[in-house]
Structure 1
Amino acid sequence: MSEHEPTPGYTEVADQDVRGLRVRSCRLGTAGGEPVAALEAVSFRQRFGAVAVAAEGIGGVETRPEFRRQGYMGRLLRRSLSGMQRRVDIAFVSDGIEGVYEKFGFVSAVSEGRLIVPVRNIERSVGAVPGAAVPGVRTGTSADLPAMIRLYNSAHARRPWTHERQADWNRLVPQTTWKPGSQTLIVQTRDAVTGYAVLEGRAFGDPLGTPSVDELVAADAGAARLLLTAIAGFCWQRRLSEFGVREPSDGLVGRVARRMGCTYQERFPPSGGMMAAILNRSELLRRLEPELRRRAAGGRSDSVHETAYDGLRRGSLLPDDGALVRLLLGYWSLDDLDAHGGSVPERYRDLCTAWFPGGGSPSLPMPYAHRLDRY
């Protein structure tokens, strides 16, 4: 074997990412110790509604140019997924390449959406957009992070695909020499923080374009309106006509923006994008049984629930894991399953309709991948 020929060996090294996430480095190497292909397995907890489960995500995938198109990445993915299967019951990809990850059981499982808010609509709604600061809104600091984490978890506690933020969370983009980093606005009501917005940092010297808000969370409609007004004022000063907010349309901020007048842009990729794969079906469903009972809200007999749930765990009911994860996350409803050629027995249809209502329903918010939690 030559020095540059990849060995069949495979290594995993557990480490701690600077962003506070637990990361496992997975590699194929040469006989001389040089890497051929590498990826990161990132650990986090992902929500399926009111229940969060341990999960791992694939990121940082790369192969050295001289070893590409020779099957090494496929070998690496199979080995790393085998290791993931021993640790967690589900895996995710934050930004999958089209036509690649389907070979390993992944399916596109969340759409990409954002609110587009015209400045003139804010002007009409509040009477005028001030060029100065909005009363009650101030610039945020690192001391505001605990309150921001509490607000986020409260606002999105039952939203599929969200991460459960811990007390040490800080994914804000730091300021560097040529980039201002994340800019944070805070709504302060007496001694409490009742809302925040994180504006995407742009490189110094970038031409002015539509501003993007990475995240906007509020405890009430009043705080949401103050933040939207402050951002509109920022745009007004720069003679910009609109801004984007990366928040789901069915949340509090989305409802406030819709009342003011906005557009919601949503993209459903046929392949790639944000993807998921079930690794251990039975164990995943065991962990999610409380969530399925919550969605059904006790409206079906225990015997029907137990029989259907047992079939779901064993795979006799909805045997396609790809369809199942889309249904569990709310990316699909039962009607979507029907449209894609799937079906469930008629005796279980009412129960499955309650289990899988699709995102944006009263029992299940629409799934959303918040930008600051992507890896």
Structure 2
Amino acid sequence: MSGHEPRVVYSEAPDQEVRSLRVRHCRLRTARDEPVAELEAVSFRLRFGAVAVPAEGIGGVETRPEFRRQGHMGRLLRQALAGMARRVDVAFVSEGIEGAYERFGFVGAVADGHLVVPVRNVEQATGGDWDWDSNAADPGIRSATPADLPTMVGLYNTAHAHRPWTHERHAGWNRLVPQTTWKPGSRTLVLRTGHTINGQTVNGHTINGYAVLEGRAFGDPLGTLTVDELVAEDAPATRRLLAAVARLCWQRRLDRFTVREPADSLTGRVARHLGCTYEQRFPPSGGMMAAVLNRPSLVRALEPELRRRTGGLLPDTAHLQAVEALCGGDLFPDDHALIRLLLGHWSAEDAYVHGAAVPDRYRSLCAAWFPGGGTPALPAPYAHRLDRY
């Protein structure tokens, strides 16, 4: 170790609040208390459909240059995962490095996707109601304030309540990108509801939609416009927010914009009606990854969600027997396949294609348990940018 003590000690610091997330720092240090490597174990609740379970995620992984290529990061990850397994049943990596996490039990479990919306399509859908070259804006849309955040959180949770991989946001959530000297941070637009008096629409104070535009560094070329989130109560509100974003593009002479929302969301359905492209990436390694830490405990915690998916397909006794078979590994013994099935990244048919063998008596049940995301029983899993760590 080039002059450093050969003994390296592992430690965990108590949880602390960091940008609306509870974070525990896991570290390796030499006997002289010199830092060797560290990572963050981030605590949250994550959805597998209608049920949310406690989970932890790995982030901020770093080894000091003089200690690299000596196996320290592998040791740190193994000890951190052992500690996580005493607290939660499932672990996640938000942006895994290719080829790094598979040997620790992680597997890609979410595809990254976004909508690309042509401005011309939005313009045509407005029916010529607006003068696009004017500076006039939709009177119901304004910039957000901190007081709007609880309502935005409620809209988000309502829109994505049953979506796998979704984080439950609490009333104090605020992971908008902050403004700094060289970066303007997130720009957020909110849409207020209105009512009609004597044929005139009067804007109210209740928010029924919002759009968070990706923060850009000052001086960046204005060749793109990306929306990190766009959530609204109904289709008319969604169209108004999309039109507001399209107006910004028109003023910058951009012909399209990107919205980071899943294709089966309300925003996705409205954009598809307007005309858009949905681009999705399925990385063979790295990206958004997950690992089962305690299989029996996780499956039992998700039993109500599995029951919801079946819609009473089996009597209680037969259903619970099948759940126990899943707990014990008689059904889908590969944990990599299991986490993909539970999240909806795979359907049961996908698992069969990849070699999973299931007894005939469980085939119809597994089809109901694991329909895959983007189906009536289960929305597509999706990781929103503002909840990544």
| TM-score using structure 1 length | 0.98
Match of 1:300, SS state, is: coil
C-alpha deviation, 1:6, in angstroms: 4.8
Match of 2:27, SS state, is: strand
Aligned equivalents of 2:4, 2:126: Cα separation in 1:
66
Counterpart of 2:358 in structure 1 is 344
Q: 1:187-336 residue pairs with structure 2 within 5 A?
A: 187-189=191-193, 190-336=204-350
C-alpha deviation, 1:223, in angstroms: 0.6
Alpha-carbon displacement from aligned partner over 1:333-357 (angstroms, at most 9, x marks no partner): 0111012111211110101100000
Counterpart of 1:55 in structure 2 is 55
Counterpart of 1:44 in structure 2 is 44
C-alpha deviation, 1:134, in angstroms: 1.6
Match of 1:14, SS state, is: coil
C-alpha deviation, 1:3, in angstroms: 5.8
Alpha-carbon displacement from aligned partner over 1:2-56 (angstroms, at most 9, x marks no partner): 7623524210002314302111100111121111111000000000000000000
* 1:96 and 2:108 correspond: no
Taking a change above 3 Å as real, the CA distance of residues 179 and 2 of structure 1, as seen in their structure-2 partners, is closer
* 1:34 and 2:48 correspond: no
Taking a change above 3 Å as real, the CA distance of residues 280 and 237 of structure 1, as seen in their structure-2 partners, is same
Aligned equivalents of 1:157, 1:214: Cα separation in 2:
18
Q: 1:88-167 residue pairs with structure 2 within 5 A?
A: 88-128=88-128, 130=132, 131=134, 132-167=136-171
* 1:12 and 2:16 correspond: no
Alpha-carbon displacement from aligned partner over 1:310-341 (angstroms, at most 9, x marks no partner): 10011111100010000000000011101211
C-alpha deviation, 1:301, in angstroms: 2.5
Counterpart of 1:370 in structure 2 is 384
| TM-score using structure 2 length | 0.94
Aligned equivalents of 1:136, 1:345: Cα separation in 2:
57
User: Does the CA contact (< 8 Å) of 2:249 and 2:257 recur in 1?
Assistant: yes
Q: Structure 1 unaligned runs (5+)?
A: none
Alpha-carbon displacement from aligned partner over 1:124-150 (angstroms, at most 9, x marks no partner): 111245342123111111110010000
Aligned equivalents of 2:59, 2:242: Cα separation in 1:
33
Aligned equivalents of 2:7, 2:122: Cα separation in 1:
61
Aligned equivalents of 1:304, 1:99: Cα separation in 2:
40
Q: Which range is displaced more, 187-196 or 363-372?
A: 187-196
User: Does the CA contact (< 8 Å) of 1:6 and 1:36 recur in 2?
Assistant: no
Aligned equivalents of 1:3, 1:34: Cα separation in 2:
12
Aligned equivalents of 2:26, 2:3: Cα separation in 1:
20
User: Does the CA contact (< 8 Å) of 1:6 and 1:28 recur in 2?
Assistant: no
Counterpart of 2:183 in structure 1 is 179
Alpha-carbon displacement from aligned partner over 1:235-257 (angstroms, at most 9, x marks no partner): 00010000000000000000000
Match of 1:186, SS state, is: strand
Match of 1:134, SS state, is: coil
User: Does the CA contact (< 8 Å) of 2:300 and 2:323 recur in 1?
Assistant: no
Amino acid at match of 1:93: V
C-alpha deviation, 1:186, in angstroms: 0.5
Q: Which range is displaced more, 91-100 or 123-132?
A: 123-132
| Count of aligned pairs between the two proteins | 375
User: Does the CA contact (< 8 Å) of 1:3 and 1:31 recur in 2?
Assistant: no
Q: Percent identity?
A: 69
Alpha-carbon displacement from aligned partner over 1:165-212 (angstroms, at most 9, x marks no partner): 011100011111211110000010023110000001111111112100
Match of 1:191, SS state, is: strand
Amino acid at match of 2:228: D
Aligned equivalents of 1:144, 1:300: Cα separation in 2:
45
What RMSD in Å do the two structures reach over aligned CA positions?
1.2
Match of 1:87, SS state, is: coil
User: Does the CA contact (< 8 Å) of 1:7 and 1:28 recur in 2?
Assistant: no
Aligned equivalents of 2:7, 2:291: Cα separation in 1:
28
User: Does the CA contact (< 8 Å) of 2:325 and 2:331 recur in 1?
Assistant: yes
Amino acid at match of 1:54: P
Amino acid at match of 1:163: H
User: Does the CA contact (< 8 Å) of 2:46 and 2:54 recur in 1?
Assistant: yes
